[in-house]
Amino acid sequence: MGLPQVLERIERACRRAGRDPKEVRLVAVTKGRSVEEIQAKVLAHGAFPLGESRVQEALKKMENLQAEWHLVGPLQRNKAKFAPRFALVHSLDSLRLAEALERVGEREGVRLRVLLEVNLGREPQKHGFLEEELPEAVARVREMPHLEVLGLMTVPPLGPEGVVRPIFRRLSELADRYGLPERSMGMSDDYEWAVEEGATFVRVGRALFVD
């Protein structure tokens, strides 16, 4: 596949949905990839945001790669102090984490940009707020002066289009309900459906690195 082909598919999905391709940002997920691979497969094509699932792996790569870094995996509270290193945290999944990030923002004198992760598939092994918890979560985080909630994120259950697409559609509906512009959804197997349902960030890893 490769990055140019992924961008082409995003553009085609935007056309099918009547959207402007400029509304969708590709976050290149670099988990498990070497600095050399990232330079050759991603940064050789332009300045794309790089997404990491683990803080420690991201910090090592930051030493060698100048890029806009996003955290796309779970953030443990004991690693909240590293959040200012990321342009966007996609995975704010609890009010306890929000409180930890607020303390970090206050201490560092910065406002951290975050997305609230929503477990729309209600899968017990996954992180995120349940849909019925969102009203309180959005209200509470919006009260925190050192956090800026920009939107919502979800990871749908594995499954066919009929299972996955309604999850994406629901995330867009919820983002609209709360007046949140960003929705982070879609990975290598389903990003075209996500784009058609309103994604503004797609988190693609494997498809970028396949020859």
Residue-wise pLDDT tens digits, 13-41: 999 999 999 999 999 999 999 999 999 99
DSSP letters along 90-118, please?
A: EEE--HHHHHHHHHHHHHHT--EEEEEEB
Alpha-carbon span 29 to 53, nearest angstrom: 8
Of 20, 3, 26, which Cα lies nearest the Cα of 191? 26
Q: Which domains does the chain have, with CATH numbers?
A: 3-204 (3.20.20.10)
Q: Tell me which amino acid residue 90 is.
A: H
Q: How confident is the model at residue 1 (pLDDT cuts 50, 70, 90)?
A: confident
Beta-strand relationship, 69-71 and 50-52? parallel
Rounded mean pLDDT of 175-203?
97
Q: Tell me which amino acid residue 206 is.
A: R
Rounded mean pLDDT of 199-204?
98
Rounded mean pLDDT of 176-201?
97
Give the pLDDT score at 124.
Answer: 87
- pLDDT-above-90 percentage for the chain: 96
Rounded mean pLDDT of 184-197?
97
Residue 211 pLDDT exceeds 80: no
Q: What are phi and psi of 159, to 5 degrees?
A: 165, 180
Of 89, 96, 106, which Cα lies nearest the Cα of 53? 89
Of 151, 131, 155, which Cα lies nearest the Cα of 141? 151
Give the pLDDT score at 93.
Answer: 97
Q: What are phi and psi of 142, to 5 degrees?
A: -65, -20
Q: Tokens 């784009």, residue?
A: 195
Of 30, 77, 65, 28, which Cα lies nearest the Cα of 49? 28
Question: Residue 78's CB: how many other CB atoms inside 10 A?
Answer: 9
Residue 3 pLDDT exceeds 80: yes
Beta-strand relationship, 182-184 and 69-71? unpaired
User: Whole-number mean pLDDT of the chain?
Assistant: 96
The Cα angle at residue 147 between residues 30 and 74, in degrees rounded to 5: 35
Rounded mean pLDDT of 3-8?
96
Q: What is the pTM of this model?
A: 0.96
Tell me the pLDDT tens digit for each residue of 106-117. 999 999 999 999
Of 106, 128, 110, which Cα lies nearest the Cα of 119? 128
Compute the CA torsion angle 195, 97, 131, 119 (nearest 10 deg). 60
Distance of CA 118 to the CA centre of its chain: 11
Q: How confident is the model at residue 125 (pLDDT cuts 50, 70, 90)?
A: confident
